[in-house]
Amino acid sequence: MLIKDAKELTVYQKSYSLAMQIFEVSKSFPREEAFALTSQIRRSSRSVPMNLREAWAKRRYEAHFISKLTDPL
């Protein structure tokens, strides 16, 4: 099976699904946390699938691909 897009990767699908679940759960956080904790949690959960897609786009450059996969969150 030839994978044509990062969205076909199991790890991407699971990380995206989890990011969406985190978004839904964070809706119930207290209002006073809306711009602090809630925002940070949402951004960090979205960074995983975004980094995977960026790494996939750069996969033909092995050194860059590896560096994107090992980027700190």
pLDDT digits (tens, 9 = 90+) for 13-71: 999 999 999 999 998 888 887 778 888 999 999 999 998 888 888 777 777 777 777 77
Please name the residue ranges forming H helices in 1-73: 10-26, 37-57, 62-69
Residue 4 located in a structural domain? no
Q: What is the pTM of this model?
A: 0.74
Residue 4 φ then ψ, to 5°: -100, -20
Chain-centroid distance, C-alpha 55 = 11
Q: What's the confidence (pLDDT) of residue 56?
A: 84
| Cα–Cα distance, 18 to 45 (Å, whole number) | 8
Q: What's the confidence (pLDDT) of residue 73?
A: 60
Chain-centroid distance, C-alpha 8 = 14
Residue 2 located in a structural domain? no
Q: Give the domain range for residue 38.
A: 9-69
Q: What's the confidence (pLDDT) of residue 70?
A: 77
Residue 17 located in a structural domain? yes
Q: What's the confidence (pLDDT) of residue 2?
A: 83
